[in-house]
Amino acid sequence: MKITNAIVEKHGLKPDEYSKIKELLEREPNLLELGIFSAMWNEHCSYKSSRLHLKNLPTKGKQVIQGPGENAGVIDIGDDDAIIFKIESHNHPSFIEPYQGAATGVGGILRDVFTMGARPIALLNSIHFGSPKHPKTKSLLNGVVSGIGGYGNCIGIPTVAGETKFDSTYNENILVNAMAVGHAKKDKIFYSKAKGLNKSVVYVGSKTGRDGIHGASMASAEFDENSEDKKPTVQVGDPFTEKLLMEACLELMKDKSIISIQDMGAAGLTSSSVEMASKGELGIELNLDKVPCREEGMTPYEMMLSESQERMLIVLENNKEKEAKKIFERWDLDFVIIGKTTNTNNLTLKFKNEIVGEIPIDALASKAPLYDRKWIKTKLPTKKINIKDLKKIKLEDALIKILSSPNESNKSWVSEQFDQLVMTDTAQRSGSDAAIIRIHKKEKAIAVTVDSSANYCKAHPLTGGKQIVCESWRNLISVGAKPIAITNCLNFGNPENSKVMGEFAECLIGLKEACEFLNFPVVSGNVSFYNGTNKKNIDPTPVVGGVGLIQNTKNKINHILKKEGNIILQVGKTFGHLYQSVFFKEIYSITEGPPPEVNLSNEKNNGETVLKLINGNLIASAHDISAGGSILALAEMCLSSRYGLKIEKPTKLSNLMEHYFGEDQGRYLLEIEPKNLEKVIKIIDANNIFNETVATVQKDYFEIIGELKIHINELYKVNNKWYNNY
């Protein structure tokens, strides 16, 4: 078949990229080779627009065993224990086919984790939908939530935390980000780097079908009015097979049979074989006649580009094949030697006794395009609104409207679809600032959280990048965990647009600054570009997954109020920043202005001091103040416990809306027994941190003296109203 310009374009390649392919091959590629280049050079696999910026992120630390570059990041939590974790996107597939798109997103991220020798212990998600009034939103929400729950519940991994948000920017391009966390022993971590010559390359797992072909390429292109036609590019998942595959792989990993192992994720057999060979500076020869196929007449092109799920590629030590095969046959899975490692530094593909493709490995990997795209800075927006000029609203009315809004209402309907307790090590599930997972048979635990703030990033990407790292930091500290490392999923629009590229570049500068200052390195992640439809890009939406360590579960804490008469102390100063706030958006439909300032020095000092107080058993409960301001955080503490609060009016800010709804950063609410108050304040003062008493725990009523008094039952009804009706 002659390769035409139309065929090149259909494969998502630019004319200059095709010219580079011919230059590297010193000839025209055939269709199979073109498809392989298309898979490896797309944005999803090559990171061709983001690599220059990603390399600036801090990725090392005392507890970092493996940073970016492997299937997942690895951190040391002591006692020979390691935590392996990563977050990835499955945005495009989930919009096209929500159930399978979300389900296979979960399956894929789980494979990234157990591929490295870890038993998965927790799942998290960050899901963003369009306006609740959009005709597609309800079905997309139902499909995605069902897909996440269906896969995670069936495989038996608890889904312990997440976030669900709505905004019109996602009307035509939803976001589905899945995070997986696993536990392994430090001396039993497996990598994808192939080693040695003439080693067996083994295919294990499910058979290959025609689902998911061009899936990675589809994820590297914008949607248009024909997006529904892309359903065949969405993979189909089978969690029961994945469970078998996971157990078989973990069993094989108990001995020293495996040289390298790689999940067949995006770009399937192509990416897994190329990545293994590239890291090992080797060649790989595959006999495609031996690839287990579930459909008749599959071509080499289809085999190499299929993204059928629940498959792995393994390079085995010599003479280990029989023992390994027995394990996979016992789990009723395919085990086929389909090739070998070579010294050619080529990907060599054979079919029906002929070489049907031969490409230098470095042409697919290290020599893939790398773009330094033009980008423009986002100016910090000015403050143009005087709150005194806005139509006045009662404090109670504002609170009720916000608590009953789609984004701030109770979303337990979502979390209730997920099994949060399977495996019996969930010490604290969704609803708190972070979930807590006990390390099996130990007192030690990890805390995990996932967060995003698209509105801050849209207003000023650099500040937004810093803020979302700090949000993750505060959430971990608020449950008594020492923050260790993050993973990120960077969801942006078209990188060929200089404004979008600027949002990405500046967001990463913010991420870098915050991670460095807080000693909170990035150990894994994913970039998802081309989120948009018909040239309309989504708002920049970086998602951060944070992991922290709790040395003893006795020191874990939550935001549930504990006792009548206890004091609520606020740590960190309120300045009354309302721009980009929930209050401005929900009450006045104002979405302009700068995000709140992020003071990294205050974040670190405040957070470390709060953690010290928690570890000293001086705090009964804790909650960070974020979206919605202090009044929403106080209300959440009440709603979680059914205790009330008597809240004092401010002495510093005369404007109640600024005081209660301002989203100034670096703040916490701490519940303290009266007997400990003096000691707590002394420690806080010694660290030069602003603090003030703001409330007292009482029965039944959420009350601001002289302003509002709402029974907790009524507050609960208000907070559940929207979701129940939707």
Active site residues: 44, 90
How far is residue 593's CA from residue 358's CA, in Å, rounded to a whole number?
A: 55
Rg (CA), the chain: 26
Alpha-helical segments (H) within 416-497: 454-459, 461-477
Tokens representing 312 are 């792995």
Angle at 51 between CA 307 and CA 270, to 5 degrees: 25
DSSP 3-state assignment of 444? coil
How many helices (H) and strands (E) in the chain?
25, 28
- Cα separation, 717 vs 321, whole angstroms: 61
Cα of 632 vs its chain's centroid, Å? 25
DSSP secondary-structure letter at 518? H
627: its two tokens: 């979206």
Measured on CA atoms in the order 555, 443, 243, 113, is the torsion positive or negative?
Answer: positive
Amino acid identity at 609: T
CB 332: neighbour CB atoms within 10 A? 9
Give 628's contacts (C-beta < 8 A, 6+ positions apart). 402, 408, 581, 582, 583, 661, 663
Instruction: Enumerate residues 6+ apart whose C-beta is below 8 A from 107.
Output: 151, 155, 237, 239, 242, 309, 310
Hey, is 522 helix, strand or coil? Answer: strand
**Exposure b/e, 436-474, CB count within 10 A at least 16 = b:** bbbbeeeebbbbbbbbbbbbbbbbbbbbbbbbbbbbbbb
What distance in Å separates the CA atoms of residue 585 and residue 459, rounded to the nearest whole number?
Answer: 13
- CA proximity to 96, closest of 219, 272, 241, 256: 219
Enumerate residues 6+ apart whose C-beta is below 8 A from 26: none
41 SS3 class:
helix
Hey, what are 621's tokens?
A: 């409960």
Q: 556-566 b/e with 16+ CB inside 10 Å = b?
A: bbbbbbeeeeb
Helix 712-725, helix 629-641: angle, nearest 10: 100
Q: How far apart are CA 664 and CA 580, in angstroms?
A: 11
Q: Sheet containing 701-704: which strands, arranged edge to edge?
A: 621-624, 668-672, 567-571, 691-699, 643-647, 701-704, 708-711
How many Å apart are CA 634 and CA 539, to the nearest integer?
29
- CA dist., res. 505 & res. 144, Å (int): 30
Q: How far is CA 275 from CA 431, 567, 587, in A?
A: 39, 56, 51
What is the distance of C-alpha 664 from the center of its chain?
25
